[in-house]
Amino acid sequence: MDLAPQKGSIENNQIKTEIKNQIINLLKEDYQLGHGYAQAMYAYIKGKRD
């Protein structure tokens, strides 16, 4: 979540929904996460905790 403002991914204090794939790709490339883990991290960042 700390990287989102640096990457221009925040609008009105929320992650822009249209850049979901960009965020997932960033997690995969910058942190070498697999696709499933990157999606799980995105869901967690968006607030899905169950």
Residue from 48, 49, 50, 6 nearest 23 by CA: 6
Give the torsion sign (CA, 30, 5, 46, 22): negative
pLDDT at 39: 94
pLDDT at position 50 is 64
> pLDDT digit string (tens) for 1-50?
676 666 677 777 777 777 888 889 989 999 999 999 999 998 888 877 66
CA 18 to chain centre: 11
**Amino acid 12: pLDDT:** 77
Tell me what pLDDT residue 23 has: 85
Q: Would the pTM of this model clear 0.95, i.e. be above it?
A: no
